[in-house]
Amino acid sequence: MTITAALVLYAVTWFMTFFIVLPLRLKTQGDVGTVVPGTPAGAPHDENVGRKAKITTAIATVIWAILAGIILSGAISVRDIDWRGIMPPERTQ
């Protein structure tokens, strides 16, 4: 795996994890009962984006390490997910 591939894998893992962590423990303005004029009732009551980003970074780093380990070890390769048999057979030398 190249450095660029590792960074792309981490970025994708981080953002997917972030979108899962973001709505956890969300208190909306409608839930609290104080809706700021000009905002929807579903808008967040307080900002916890920094804390959620730190949590996301910790979780995404663990997930990325597992995925990178699987890729680097060769336990799962692209040929393992070629269910339709489109890839040509491997050349042996």
> Mind listing the pLDDT tens digit for each residue in 21-45?
998 988 889 888 889 899 898 888 8
Residue 8 is assigned to a structural domain of this protein:
yes
Q: How many whole angstroms separate alpha carbon 53 and alpha carbon 23? A: 12
In this structure, what token pair is assigned to residue 1?
Answer: 């795996």
Instruction: Say if pTM beats, i.e. exceeds, 0.85.
Output: no
Task: Report if residue 88 sits inside a domain.
Answer: no
Is position 87 within any domain? no
Residue 77 within any structural domain of the chain = yes
What pLDDT, on a 0 to 100 scale, did the predictor assign at position 54? 96
Structural domain span for residue 36: 3-81
Q: Domain count of the chain?
A: 1
Residue range 45-87, pLDDT digits in tens: 888 899 999 999 999 999 999 999 999 998 888 888 888 888 8
CA dist 58 and 10 (Å) reads 12
Residue 30 belongs to some domain of the structure: yes
**DSSP calls for 15-27:** HHHHHHHTTTT--
Is residue 18 one of the residues assigned to a domain? yes
Q: Is residue 89 assigned to a domain?
A: no
Residue type, position 28, single letter = T
Please tell me the distance from the alpha carbon of residue 71 to that of residue 49, in angstroms, as a whole number: 31
pLDDT band at 19 (very low <50, low <70, confident <90, very high): very high
Residue 16 domain flag: yes
